[in-house]
Structure 1
Amino acid sequence: MTIEPPAPGEPRRPLGPRDPGDAWVVAPTGERYWGRFGAAGLLAVDPDRGVLLQHRVSWSHFGDTWALPGGARHEEESAWDAALREAAEEAGVPASAIRPRVLSVLDLGYWSYTTVIGDVVEPFEPVISDPESRELAWVPTDAVTRHPLHPGFAGSWERLKALLPVRPAVVVDAANVMGSVPDGWWRDREGAAERLLARLGSLARQGIPAAALELPEHTWYPHWTAVVEGQARGAEATDGIDVVRAEASGDDALVAAAERLVDAGNRVTVVTSDRGLAQRVQDAGAAVRGARWLLDLLD
């Protein structure tokens, strides 16, 4: 790839057509930040290998430091899409390998940087795929600060590190939620379940505010599980939602799903208005929200 000569003090950039977002933003105090529409980076978390860091080439902005794969957002591009695009361009990260967990935003008013924390669900090896990377490496979280870090990343690392153990998960008692809405579900339980799963899928892609789950103030993307039973077991699945099809007792299947997630270290919230079931999942270590809580989020 051809690199254009930089102006004094500026990093070199590839020649060719640019997105309008590829430009500097100058702060009132004179500092410059890359990305007219802000910037985003991916903090990919692998449970066995740590976090993926990029060793930046010496001619880049704050060169020869370690940071996250990331860069300028395009106009109208979401932070999630920007982080995945930049991670693919700079480190060969497959989009299918990452499940988003939380978006953390540094907003200066005139410029913003969004760190997308995503869990590796399909192991992969990073690949240096553009000239801005000198090295890519999986780094254990307790070894991150042993590297010379980009100032922006260094300033946010402790805050980001504190979020890594927080793994929210929501388990939905589909029958109970369906039954709380008089939309004729009793005539077509499978169709009603599919409608609910589709709405859950949209919510999973959108994320939910921290206050809804009493989590640190960010936008969160919980691991979603829906338990369907009886005539609803044939409902077609939706991307982003794990579906448990109860062969016998739906309550037992839901409790088992909650227990598995709790045992795996997740902060689990079960959605049901069934008092007996609520007590069982609380005994298993999960929190409980009623069906109205979820319906308000869906609306």
Structure 2
Amino acid sequence: MPFDPHAPRDPGDAWAEAPDGTRYWGRFGAAGLVAHDPDRGVLLQHRALWSHHGGTWGIPGGARHAGEAAVPGALREAWEEASVPPGSLRVAATSTLELGFWSYTTVVARVTTPFEPHATDDESQELAWIPVDQVASLELHPGFGAAWPRLHGMLGLAPAVVVDAANVVGSVPDGWWRDRRGAAERLAGRVAEWAAAGIDAGALDLPEGRWFPRVELVVEGRARGARADGVDVHDAPGEGDDAVVSRVEARHAAGERVTVVTSDRGLAARVGPFADVRGARWLLDQLRPGAGEGRAPAE
């Protein structure tokens, strides 16, 4: 939806005050977007002189609306301030400064379809793609400047998770053998929910933050045809292990950092040169419990 300057003011567009009297913009916190185009750099906003820390360079962003999560808030602000089309991005991670009474979440996203930004209000002197190695040479907004070394380390990381669905489903004796496709779909739905919420960096050995990897499930045999919104499900044309290896090699060739979920030692050895390997228990312990599910057996 295009920005409407005459729309009613959201209650989030107000100052939050710290115990020492310091004020931070956004009653419900704030969020901003680091849009990274590997060919052009990072989209930065040269802030208008009248604005807070005017004349510095930062990222499109602003106050979150009441009840608004950080990722949609950052994407909305980037659209309203810089005409950044949400469909041209793939969100990779978030990094949050949490002060207790206020927070700022930076959303890191990779540009998947090139676009040209356009200022839609008077908060920007200009918008520009700045090569990554030149960002630190600019006069940066103090908050963005403090976060930039950490954010810089997050750019270019593209995590992917490939799940050996048959192995994970088979690790819990919940009657999956009576309906293999249904069991695979239930797993896929739970995995999609887990990935959509963001995965803690420690789980994937990635820099601090929450990450949103590309997630793929490989299904085989009578589980073929299983589908779930929010996750890519691949039907193995033959052996499931061969299909997992194929998906891992494709993701690795695309420059992504791959984690494979399987407790099959033979498969783990095959994908080891291209990926980190986690067992079924690792995944199941992070998912919302399914009906009749106990813990996965020890590996």
TM-score (norm 1): 0.88
- Corresponding position: 1:178 with 2:173: no
User: Of 237, 240, 260, which residue of structure 2 is paired with 1:247?
Assistant: 237
1:112: Cα distance to partner? 1.4
Counterpart-to-counterpart distance in 2, 1:16 and 1:256 = 50
**Deviations 1:64-83, CA, capped at 9 Å, x for gaps:** 22111100112221111111
| Structure 2 residue corresponding to 1:18, chosen from 9, 25, 28 | 9
**1:62 aligns to 2:58 (yes or no):** no
Tell me which residue corresponds to 2:263.
273
The secondary structure found in structure 2 opposite 1:43 is: strand
Find the counterpart in structure 1 of residue 120 from structure 2.
129
% identity of equivalent residues? 63
Where does structure 1 lack aligned partners over 5 or more consecutive residues? 1-13
Matched residue SS, 1:200: helix
2:62 corresponding residue in structure 1: 71
Equivalence for 2:287:
298
Distance 2:235 2:39 in 1: 30
CA distance in 1, matches of 2:214, 2:134: 28
DSSP 3-state at the match of 1:298: coil
Indicate how the Cα distance of structure 1 residues 188 and 140 shifts in structure 2: closer, same or farther if over 3 A, else same: same
Alpha-carbon separation, structure 1, partners of 2:180 and 2:36: 38
DSSP-derived class of the 1:48 partner: coil
Counterpart residue number, 1:288: 277
Taking only aligned residues, the RMSD between alpha carbons, in angstroms, comes to 1.8
Aligned amino acid, residue 287 of structure 2: L
CA contact (8 A) 2:192 2:228 kept: no
Taking the aligned partners of 1:16 and 1:286, their CA distance within structure 2 comes to 49
1:261 and 2:251 equivalent? Answer: yes
- Residue 86 (structure 1) aligns with: 77
- 2:84 alignment partner AA: V
Q: Could you list the per-position Cα deviations for residues 63-113 of structure 1 after superposition, in whole angstroms to 9, with x for gaps in the alignment?
A: 122111100112221111111111111112222222221111112233211
SS at match of 1:297: coil
Partner of 2:187: 196
Query: Which residue type is aligned with residue 155 of structure 2?
Result: L
1:230 aligned partner: 221
Deviation, 1:180, is: 1.6
Point out where structure 2 has 5 or more consecutive residues left out of the alignment. Answer: 289-299
**Structure-2 change in CA distance of 1:95 and 1:16 (3 Å):** closer
Q: Does 1:214 align with 2:205?
A: yes
Correspondences of 1:24-173 after superposition (within 5 Å):
24-173=15-164
Q: After the TM superposition, which of the residue ranges 76-85 and 95-104 deviates more from structure 2?
A: 95-104
CA distances 1:205-234 after superposition (whole Å, capped 9, x unpaired): 101112212223321112211112222221
